[in-house]
Amino acid sequence: MVDIPQEYLPPKEYMPDNFYALPELHYPLKLNLGKILLDDNAEKRGDKVAILFKDKRITYKQLKERVNKLANALKSLGVEDNDRVMIRMPNRPEWIESNFACWKIGAIPVLTNHLLRAETISYIANDSEAKVMIVGSEWLKDVEEAKPKMNFLKEIVVVGEEVKKEYHSYEEIIKDQSTDFPTFDFSRDHFGRLIYTSGTTGLPKGVLKTYREILSGADTHGRYILELSEKDVIGGHPYFSFAFGSVNFTQYPWRFGASLSIIERFTPEDMFKTIEDHKITVLCCVPTAFRMMLTVKDAEKKYDLSSLRICQSAGEWLPPSTIIEWKKRFGVEIIDSLGSSELNYWISTRKGNPENKIGSTGLPVPGYELKIVDEEWKEVPRGTPGYLIIRGPVGNTYWRKPEKQMKAVKDGWSLTDLMFIQDEDGYFWYQSRVDDMVVSAGHKIPGGEVENVLNEHPAVLESAVIAAPDPVRGNIVKAFVVLKPGYSPSEELVKELQNYVKERIEPWKYPRKIEFAKAEDLPRTVTGKIQRAALREMERKKYEEEMKKAGAT
């Protein structure tokens, strides 16, 4: 057994005060995720399709056999319980097999985005002290560049063809292994996932999840919001390394004996075709993807989407216009859920969301308690903006980051750095991230609120609002706007967007500057989120240069 050094774990006095309000959240003291989520399904429904990938159909029995082969192979490479195993590849069946094999052994899968470059790869490898990495062959180049700096990595397993001799071929190492693997139970508080947040500034942070915290996502949001069952085919584009994809795809299907549809790369047309071919019932996409899919003319006529029963969005705020247009064209509701790597999902809309609540983030997910407080930690009255804090079956838990842990938990509650308003009916309305607040001429303007309005305009695909330095007001609201196909930048459109904001929220909140940008030109995290901190820094440097020039003249 491999022991995790105590100093790598959060200080006990700053651990969240998790509580378990639902009967489903009371788990056995000992368990094995591989057995609960895979072996039990293989026993009950072995011939049922577990994974659909392109033209492949993998049954639960076949999945179990390949997972057991891989678990035996990893054991032969020296992987023990609590060892960390990095997984680096786009969404594909081998990712699911690798994740399950770790759970069978009791090892901790380290979820890493395949788009990360060498510097970040070596940082995560060293920070996690991963013993083995499983990587797709097409994503090996950056790993090889990082290799000299990875101090703990012992073995590299490559998924794909033409594997170099110094590495292990995934298919070769599992080929002659047994299809049986003895499973052992571990504590329900054994760690079952280490995911690194992409972050908007600085190095990524490792977030830990225990076995029961992993199961709790399915038994709260999956069970009560998405109402998942064995009849479902769950699909979408979010990467398995992204919290959205990790929870919805590497955890949810197996809790309910459902099937997983995998798409390797997203385009609107490919997503529609995959829904049709795989008969997806639950579609999971980020808001921008839904908006892109709505730009496909006559998609509702070109594709058979009759299998869909519900859609879910996460990752960013979902504009009401997207919800309304999607329902009008495809006859299916989009559920908007908010969560994080740390806390699973804690707020969500529901099916049949009242019309006057469209645009809200909904109500607490069953099993969670939410409060909005002021800077003095006092709960604010309904209708008053404040800071969101959370308690539930999971909590903020960071790997080797005691200083981060101390700032992330207070009195047992997990902090979020998000500002919300709760209305008289209990619905939560997103305002902004704390660091996206624009202070201009004494006014506090939530950048997220301005973005929400801009994203409702028919011409706007997505936007990012930041504080831009200004000599008179201190800062002004500036918006970077990506237009939908068919729209072109112009001064007239700038004025139209500014007036659009003025008419819908307080006039002083309108963006005094608007810069049109291409989606690919905006700085983004590896999960596709716009890095507003990078935009703020860019504007700061631009302002300083302008001031220097003005001083020189």
Q: What is the DSSP string of 75-114?
A: HHTT--TT-EEEEESSSSHHHHHHHHHHHHHT-EEEE--T
State yes or no: pLDDT of 199 exceeds 60: no
Other C-beta atoms closer than 10 Å to the C-beta of 110 total: 26
pLDDT at 202: 62
Query: What average pLDDT does the segment 319-335 reach?
Result: 94
What is the token pair recorded at 501?
């904001």
CATH number of 434-552: 3.30.300.30
* Sequence ranges of the chain with CATH classification 3.40.50.12780: 6-421
pLDDT at 440: 84
* Sequence ranges of the chain with CATH classification 3.30.300.30: 434-552
State yes or no: pLDDT of 411 exceeds 90: yes
Tell me the pLDDT tens digit for each residue of 52-67.
Answer: 999 999 999 999 999 9
Tell me the pLDDT tens digit for each residue of 239-281.
Answer: 999 999 999 999 999 999 999 999 989 999 999 999 999 999 9
SS3 annotation, 506-536: CHHHCCCEEEECCHHHCCECCCCCECHHHHH
Q: What is the distance between the alpha carbons of residues 515 and 353, in angstroms, rounded to a whole number?
A: 34
Q: What is the distance between the alpha carbons of residues 505 and 527, in angstroms, rounded to a whole number?
A: 30
What is the SS3 assignment for 127?
helix
pLDDT at 448: 86
What is the token pair recorded at 93?
């069946």
Where does the pLDDT of residue 551 fall: very low under 50, low under 70, confident under 90, or very high at 90 and above? Answer: low
| Domain 6-421 top-level CATH class | alpha beta
Q: What is the distance between the alpha carbons of residues 293 and 303, in angstroms, rounded to a whole number?
A: 12
Tell me the pLDDT tens digit for each residue of 465-490.
Answer: 999 998 878 889 999 999 999 999 99
Residues constituting the chain: 553
